[in-house]
Amino acid sequence: MDLLAHRRKVLSELQAVSGINPENAVRAIQDELEVIEAGLEELKPLPGSLLRTSGASDAR
C-alpha cells in the first residue's frame, strides 16, 4: 500500500471513531495528505516533455 492510500485509510478510520475527539489527528493527517499530493503533482512530467524511465541508458 502506498503512503497516500495508507494516509487516506487512516483518515477514514479516524473519522469513524466514536467516544474520542480525533480532531487533532484528523487535522494532522489532512495536512500530510496535502503535502503528499502536492509532491506528487510536482513529480508529474510537464506536458510535451519526455518521461525518462529508470531502465533507459544514457548515450555518452
Domain residue ranges of the chain, discontinuous segments joined by +:
3-43
Structure pTM? 0.62
- Which of 41, 3, 7 lies closest to 27, judged by CA? 7
Q: Contact at 8 Å (CB) between 11 and 29? A: yes
Q: In the predicted model, is pLDDT for residue 59 greater than 70?
A: no
Residues 23-47 have a mean pLDDT of: 91
Which residue is listed with cell 466514536?
18
Q: In the predicted model, is pLDDT for residue 2 greater than 60?
A: yes
Q: Contact at 8 Å (CB) between 40 and 11? A: no
Residues 7-36 have a mean pLDDT of: 90
- Which of 58, 6, 55, 53 lies closest to 29, judged by CA? 6
